[in-house]
Amino acid sequence: MTSLNDPYILDVTSKYSLPAIDAINTWYCHPDILFAQTNDLTTATKEPTVGQYDKIYITNLSDPHQFNQTFDREKVQEPVQFYTNILKDAEDNSVTILAIGFLTHLNNFYNSSKGPELIKSKVKELVVQGGSCNTTDNPHSAGFNLIYDLQSAQVLTKWPSPVTFLPGYTAKGVEVGRSALNTSTDSPIRFGKMLSVKINILLTARKYLVYNTVNYTEDYKFGSADLLATYYAAFGTSNLFTYGNKDGKGGLEFVKDNSSSVGPTEHDDSVWNDGLKPEHLQHYLI
């Protein structure tokens, strides 16, 4: 699942998210990408951590009168069944899954009747943007993608194929996206830039990332992590990355915060345990 036309499985439940993504794909001449999303949709227009500026962007971007869209809602599949259909027809050990969002649907797929068998036989590698590792500049945080649904993220400790993590700190100092500002004025990316000029709202670092498409500032140091994880999933280490655990030892584990109530919470954390022996090889990128 790492070519330009590979399918998208959305963990975001907003009804606006899929048409917004499709508008971007269509503008960049990839209108035929398949989608999977839960049928239990919401009308949410922002993440809890971001703010009101999102609503203006996503509702306009998902409006077919403003941006061309090609997807058919009736053809959008349920995520677990979608994973099943994709993997059962794939060659053995041929599929790379890139997880740059929440792990809710991956966890649900793993817990389905055919999930573990299909993962073990068909999935070559799972690439995850998130996790933390034992380095001096690591913030020791599982990262937003894992913490948002920490219960589902526990699936990483038992995932039956190789896993590679790209922690947020790996992206520190990496700036991307300036060329997108040179696109034509009808671009959905430029639309975000124009909003930031027209609306007098103090931008947070996350908003600066989304609407100016420049993914590194002093306040938001890890903004390009999703893009770097995507690059690795498509091209491997290339000349950009090395494995932090070159010897292949260790793995990610979740540590329970003593003050937490029963079940995973935002107070819990993930750490890289050099002595851990997961069922399959795990790496982290630096």
Q: What is the pLDDT of residues 101-132, one digit of tens each?
A: 889 999 999 999 999 999 999 999 999 998 87
Q: At what angle do helices 53-61 and 205-212 cross, to 10 degrees?
A: 20
In sequence order, the 6+-apart residues with CB closer than 8 A to the CB of 65 are none
How far apart are alpha carbons 273 and 271 in whole angstroms? 6
Fold of 8-170+222-284: Inosine-uridine Nucleoside N-ribohydrolase; Chain A (3.90.245)
Confidence at residue 28, expressed as pLDDT on a 0 to 100 scale: 87
- Contact, 146 vs 187, CB < 8 A? no
Largest CA distance in the chain: 56
Instruction: Kindly report, residue by residue over 28-49, the tens digit of the pLDDT.
Output: 898 888 899 988 888 887 765 5
Q: What is the predicted pLDDT for the residue at 162?
A: 96
Most confident of the following: 137-141, 226-230, 279-283: 226-230
Question: Percent of the chain at pLDDT above 90?
Answer: 29
**C-alpha–C-alpha distance, residues 256 and 271, integer Å:** 11
What are the contacts of 176-183 at 24+ separation with CB within 8 A?
176/214, 176/215, 176/216, 176/224, 176/227, 177/212, 177/213, 177/214, 177/215, 177/224, 178/213, 178/214, 180/213, 181/212, 181/213, 181/214
Model confidence at 201: pLDDT above 70: no
Phi, psi of 192 (to 5 degrees): -65, -40
**For residue 211, pLDDT beyond 70:** no
The label of the residue with tokens 């930031």 reads: 196
DSSP string for residues in 209-231: HHHH-----SS-TTTTHHHHHHH
Nearest partner of 106 among 9, 41, 196, judged by Cα? 9
pLDDT the model gives residue 272: 80
**Every domain of the chain and the residues it spans:** 8-170+222-284
